């Protein structure tokens, strides 16, 4: 059962969480948590035969790995690609369809089986010993991740007795991650796993996935500590947890901005910040020699550089504390001045909704609540109907109504299949997919694959988001598809329809000067963003010796409130990855095989060998996946069969008994050399020899 507390905490301690009954999930609760749900098991074969006598059986489904080994004379299939010996699995090989068509991708279930947490070989090894904190005059700050990158934000604040974890996000996998088949990349939690009995709280600053997305995957690993966050963030976390019914329930504690609570011996204060999502907050962790303050994602509400009075008052109150260190958002530190106010964007949207003569389709982030609320209000004002497209869009609006952040008049929302019943100038569609996601609603509209919405020349598309680094190609494909529909496309370059949720250099300088910390630690962003924050601070008079620009896993210690240093070692920082329903550190051999398969394919040879004489009983069968089209390369296959026959009979000559393991090695080596010479490609070669 989920434990939640939707009542504001007292100012002294966290109130006891009250229980909430979780909806039953049928027989999924009885699933074996240790079962491998991705790869079907291969039945054991008789001892004298290979694991899979059916040649087509050696092709595995995505994520399935290599053909299985049987006992007896048949040895484990092996292959060699660009990196050498392939003694592990074929990883993510995807069988090609018979006529070269593309296999349709299936939408995943919204309920996951129990996660498998894998302890990799690298994790099991001893890493450099990190000394424990033995005195009360030392505070340790660790940037677990979220620096040197965008995403998977997590920071640790540690004293002699307590550990406070701030945020636990994930990172979507990009081409630069070099991790084919991986779902998400998580913060490495090994340091926390080794000290889980010291963790007092998981504090979440706001509800974006780069701050909450990792929770379902890491909480069990670190002992499921209590979570402290504001109401909307708590609802988003619990909504996401419904997808993982086998997990231990989160111990959720809801706080309000401006309140404080005590965990262990540590007092934590919260304060309101402005971001692109409601209920965003910063936190100040009290230590013996001052507060360690974390802004979370932050910008300022301002008009031409003049900060809103209420917001200024909130920051001034934070500045009244003895602020030892400031961990501050750096995403837009490289941009000078102040960012564009959201109020300008909302005024633009109001005019566009008012003057629309056809359907208005707005692609934006489903978590940009303020913008969605304003659009819905404008639609109600001008008598427009709102259609929500995309699961996350519908889910977040439902959460906002549940949190009483949004009240909607009856009849404002309609379903997609009811669009035809209303005039086109009365329809506004709020859609996910402005980043060009393949299966998002907007992309399906652009490719004419949406069930209810067909674009036409009277439609106007607003792409109300900046392009996230790494998504440039996807967004360009989306724009090309939209223009092929002859619709009008409005982007952030042509109209004021988007503003950032991260403050520019001028805003960050204002915050730092108001908070007045002794030490500054830029976080949240690539290294150039953090270093830009550093330069801006120094240019505005902050002593450079009091700034630490961290890397992933950097351990910073402040002693006696006066001396700051960086330890020579880092915490374990190998990437923690979600691979289907398995969570573990990066497995290079698996990812290397997947990359090899994606580049050069695989070449499987299946041969039946007389176990007494070493002679082939028939011509070998050959399966090619992602390498060459067999029908167009019959000469190559004929030569390959002759080479296989010669290699097997030569390697088994004079052997009593026949050792097919040696024959496999010879076939793999000879065939790899032959295919490289003939095609300049290096496929994964998998010989399957069946001794009879």
Q: So which residues are the catalytic ones?
A: 329, 502
Contact between 500 and 329 under an 8 Å Cβ cutoff? The reply is no
Name residue 3's beta-bridge partners. Answer: 19, 251
653 DSSP assignment: T
Element at 483 (helix H, strand E): helix 472-484
- Buried (b) or exposed (e) across 448-471, using 16+ Cβ within 10 A? eebeebebeeebbbbbbbbbbebb
How far is the C-alpha of 55 from the C-alpha of 692, rounded, in Å?
A: 16
428 DSSP assignment: E
How far is the C-alpha of 309 from the C-alpha of 590, rounded, in Å?
A: 55
Strand order in the sheet with 171-172: 116-117, 582-585, 576-579, 184-186, 171-172
How far is the C-alpha of 19 from the C-alpha of 669, rounded, in Å?
A: 62
Burial class (CB in 10 A: 0-12, 13-18, 19+), 24: exposed
Q: Return the ∠ at Cα 291 (arms to 286 and 293), rounded to 5°.
A: 110
How far is the C-alpha of 586 from the C-alpha of 594, rounded, in Å?
A: 13
Angle, helices 231-241 vs 391-402, to 10°: value is 130
608 DSSP assignment: E
Contact between 250 and 258 under an 8 Å Cβ cutoff? The reply is no
| DSSP one-letter string for 219-287 | TTTTT-PPEEE-HHHHHHHHHHHTT-TTSPPPBEEE--TT-EEEETTEEEEEEE-B-SSTT-EEEEEEE
Longest dimension (CA), the chain: 92
Beta strands in 311-398 (DSSP E): 323-329, 360-363, 385-389
Q: Which residue has the tokens 């592990």?
A: 88
Could you tell me the two tokens for 299? 């910008």
How far is the C-alpha of 101 from the C-alpha of 123, rounded, in Å?
A: 41
Q: Which residues contact 538 (CB under 8 A, 6 or more apart)?
A: 544, 547
How far is the C-alpha of 559 from the C-alpha of 554, rounded, in Å?
A: 16
Could you tell me the two tokens for 145? 């991740």
What Rg value do the Cα atoms of the chain yield, rounded?
29
3-class secondary structure, 557: strand
Q: Pick the closest to residue 594 from 62, 228, 25, 54 (CA basis).
A: 62
Sign of the torsion formed by the C-alpha atoms of 122, 204, 273 and 518: negative
Work out whether strand 199-203 and strand 184-186 pair parallel, antiparallel, or are unpaired.
unpaired
Name residue 142's beta-bridge partners. Answer: 156, 555
3-class secondary structure, 624: strand
How far is the C-alpha of 597 from the C-alpha of 234, rounded, in Å?
A: 42
321 DSSP assignment: S
3-class secondary structure, 545: helix
3-class secondary structure, 39: coil
How far is the C-alpha of 381 from the C-alpha of 354, rounded, in Å?
A: 9
């Amino acid at each position: 059962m989920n434990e939640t507390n939707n009542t504001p905490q007292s100012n002294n301690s966290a109130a006891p969480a009250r229980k909430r009954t979780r909806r039953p999930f049928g027989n999924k609760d009885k699933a074996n948590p240790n079962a491998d749900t991705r790869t079907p098991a291969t039945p054991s074969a008789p001892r004298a035969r290979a694991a899979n006598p059916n040649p087509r059986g050696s092709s595995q489904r995505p994520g399935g790995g290599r053909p299985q080994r049987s006992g007896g004379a048949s040895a484990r299939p092996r292959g060699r690609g660009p990196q050498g010996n392939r003694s592990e699995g074929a990883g993510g090989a995807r069988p090609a369809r018979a006529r070269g068509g593309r296999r349709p991708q299936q939408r995943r279930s919204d309920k996951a089986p129990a996660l498998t947490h894998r302890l990799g070989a690298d994790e099991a090894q001893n890493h450099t010993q990190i000394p424990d904190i033995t005195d009360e005059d030392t505070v340790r700050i660790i940037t677990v991740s979220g620096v040197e990158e965008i995403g998977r934000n997590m920071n640790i604040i540690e004293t002699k007795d307590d550990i406070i974890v701030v945020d636990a996000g994930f990172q979507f996998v990009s081409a630069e991650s070099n991790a084919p088949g991986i779902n998400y990349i998580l913060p490495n939690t090994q340091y926390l796993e080794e000290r889980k009995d010291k963790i007092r709280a998981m504090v979440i600053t706001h509800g974006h996935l780069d701050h909450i997305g990792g929770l379902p995957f890491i909480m069990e690993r670190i002992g499921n500590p209590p979570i402290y966050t504001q109401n909307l963030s708590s609802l988003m976390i619990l909504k996401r947890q419904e997808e993982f019914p086998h997990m231990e329930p989160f111990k959720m504690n809801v706080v309000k901005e401006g309140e404080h609570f005590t965990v262990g011996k540590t007092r934590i204060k919260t304060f309101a910040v402005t971001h692109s999502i409601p209920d965003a907050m910063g936190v100040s962790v009290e230590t013996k020699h001052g507060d360690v303050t974390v802004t979370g994602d932050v910008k300022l509400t301002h008009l031409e550089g003049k900060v809103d009075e209420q917001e200024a008052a909130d920051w001034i109150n934070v500045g009244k504390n003895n602020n030892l260190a400031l961990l501050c958002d750096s995403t837009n530190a490289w941009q000078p001045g102040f960012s564009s106010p959201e109020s300008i964007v909302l005024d633009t949207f109001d005019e566009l909704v008012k003057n629309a003569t056809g359907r208005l389709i707005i692609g934006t982030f489903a978590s940009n609540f303020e913008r969605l609320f304003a659009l819905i209000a404008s639609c109600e004002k001008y008598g427009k109907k709102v259609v929500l497209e995309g699961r996350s869009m519908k889910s977040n609006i439902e959460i906002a109504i549940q949190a009483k952040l949004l009240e909607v008049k009856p009849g404002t929302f309609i379903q997609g299949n009811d669009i035809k019943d209303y005039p086109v100038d009365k329809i506004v569609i709020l859609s996910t997919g402005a980043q060009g996601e393949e299966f998002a609603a907007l992309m399906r509209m652009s490719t004419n694959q949406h069930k209810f919405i067909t674009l036409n020349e009277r439609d106007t598309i607003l792409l109300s988001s900046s392009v996230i680094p790494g998504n440039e190609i996807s967004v360009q494909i989306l724009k090309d598809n939209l223009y092929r529909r002859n619709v009008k496309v409005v982007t952030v370059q042509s109209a004021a329809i988007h503003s950032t949720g991260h403050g520019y250099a001028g805003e960050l300088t204002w915050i730092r000067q108001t908070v007045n910390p002794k030490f500054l630690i830029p976080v949240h962003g690539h290294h150039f963003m953090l270093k830009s924050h550093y330069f801006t601070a120094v240019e505005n008079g902050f002593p450079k010796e009091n700034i630490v620009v961290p890397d992933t896993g950097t351990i910073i210690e402040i002693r006696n409130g006066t001396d700051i240093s960086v330890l020579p070692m880092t915490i374990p920082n190998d990437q923690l990855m979600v691979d289907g329903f398995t969570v573990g550190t990066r497995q290079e051999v698996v990812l290397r095989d997947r990359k090899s398969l994606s580049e050069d394919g695989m070449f499987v040879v299946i041969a039946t060998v007389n176990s007494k004489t070493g002679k082939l009983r028939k011509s070998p069968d050959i399966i090619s996946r992602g390498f060459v089209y067999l029908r167009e390369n019959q000469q190559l296959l004929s030569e390959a069969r002759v080479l296989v026959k010669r290699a097997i009979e030569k390697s088994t000559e004079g052997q009593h008994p026949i050792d097919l393991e040696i024959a496999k090695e010879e076939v793999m080596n000879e065939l790899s050399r032959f295919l490289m010479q003939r095609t300049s490609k290096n496929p994964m070669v998998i010989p399957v020899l069946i001794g009879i």
